[in-house]
Amino acid sequence: MQDTIVALATPPGEGGLAVIRISGPRSLEIARAFFHRADRRSLDAVKSHRACFGEIRDADGTCIDEAVFTFFQGPKSYTAEDVVELAVHGGVFVSAKVLELAQAKGARLAGPGEFTRRAFVNGRLDLSQAEAVSDIISAASDQALKTAVSQLKGALSEKLNELFQDALQLLSQLEAAIDFPEDDLKLAHSDEILKSAEALIERLHRLAATYDQGKIIHEGARVILAGKPNAGKSSLLNALLQEDRAIVTPYSGTTRDLLEERARINNIHVNLIDSAGLRENPEEIEKIGIERARAALADADLILLVFDGSQALDDNDRLLMQTVAGKQSLLLINKNDLTQELDAEALQTELKKAPLFLSAATGEGLDALRQAIYDHCAPQLKESIIITRKRHQEGLELAAQALERAAESVRNQLSEEFTAVDVHIALDHLGAIVGKNFSDDLLDLIFGQFCIGK
């Protein structure tokens, strides 16, 4: 990468500070054209990782703003290239003016994630560490942040490289069997290869299985409120969010589509989803909302079954019970502030769940509900290292499948050359996770999700 890029590294808008980042072989040369030290010394004398104070001046020498200049000489920088960071007063016009000056001197405006992409290409980070940078930025809970920082520091990379090296060792065992084809040695090698493959397969599956919990940490648990029309789902959503996000009316069927909101409940990140009321013989326009509700129920980590305590159980309630049978759920009896007509004891017996009595209108029972959501959704981590991205899970499972084919080849006494093909495939899948082998399309997909300036 021979060009030099520039971007705003802080969120756009008004604020205390704005930081403009320049990276590439001409970063110092470009900054020299418009930044002038207050002590009048040349920027050529600036030391790496040292800050100095000065002014940003435009082409005619007019001062645009005061700034703090910091130079990071490659490879000891974020991108492993020469990097300049300019901290100016936060403001849309000032930062835009600095970007304009840098571009006028030959810098190119960076694309999304391009600084981190350069860090990866230049060998400062592997691909899983680069993804962790994005995860730190988007972390919405203590556990999400802790996991992302651990991955940035290389805990996951170390584990993946260990698996990669073990697969390489398996390949070397196959090559030894090829080099020494004697029957007695071949049998001994086959037993050793099979044991190694089976042990590695088990470890791959175990790490891949951590994605179920890792997904909740990274993306948040999907918690959907389900019930018949007018059971109080939207009121309950608003009460949990502590703000009016869903429209609430006395008329049934007000919610016609899914409404999803992020929330922190007892220090975990959840996605609360309000859904259309389930009922038999809905109107035509309601059918679409109900179908979307059913699809969301199938993908939910937890379902909040909302029953109206002021009404006796009816066919719509029974439709709900049939729809969610066998799924992870909490039984909620809402409107506990009103005269109760629902036979809660019979409902508890039928669903084999203890109900939570609450009132979205008064707030009664909401603390108990928050605790119950936390108890069901908080990740129960059994492994010290987990994966949080679908890409990693798929790579691990594909590697395991390739090794399972290799193990089957050994059992069937197929040639070592044939078996080695699948081991090579497993190595390719493992290597792709950390970026030992990659395509530009994969990098575009990963770094395209970053913000500009990171």
Name the binding residues.
21, 85, 124, 230-235, 249-255, 274-277, 454
* Binding-site residues from annotation for Mg(2+): 234, 255
Alpha helices in 210-283 (DSSP H): 211-219, 233-241
Using CA atoms, how far residue 454 sits from 7, 134, 144, 447, in Å, is: 9, 8, 19, 9
**How many CB atoms lie under 10 A from the CB of residue 232?**
23
Element (H, E) at 308: strand 302-308
One-letter amino acid at 327 equals K
- What is the distance in angstroms between the CA of the first residue and the CA of the last residue of the chain? 17
Question: Is the separation of the CB atoms in 447 and 117 below 8 Å?
Answer: yes
- Phi, psi of 349, rounded to the nearest 5 degrees: -65, -40
Coil, strand or helix: which one is 398?
helix
Q: Which residue bears the tokens 């962790």? A: 132
* Binding-site residues from annotation for (6S)-5-formyl-5,6,7,8-tetrahydrofolate: 21, 85, 124, 454
Q: Which residues contact 249 (CB under 8 A, 6 or more apart)?
A: none
Question: Is the separation of the CB atoms in 14 and 91 below 8 Å?
Answer: yes
One-letter amino acid at 145 equals L
Question: Is the separation of the CB atoms in 85 and 48 below 8 Å?
Answer: no
Strands (E), 147-254: 221-227
Q: Which residue bears the tokens 């950390």? A: 434
State how far the Cα of 347 lies from the Cα of 334, in Å rounded to an integer. Answer: 13
* Binding-site residues from annotation for GTP: 230-235, 249-255, 274-277
Coil, strand or helix: which one is 304?
strand
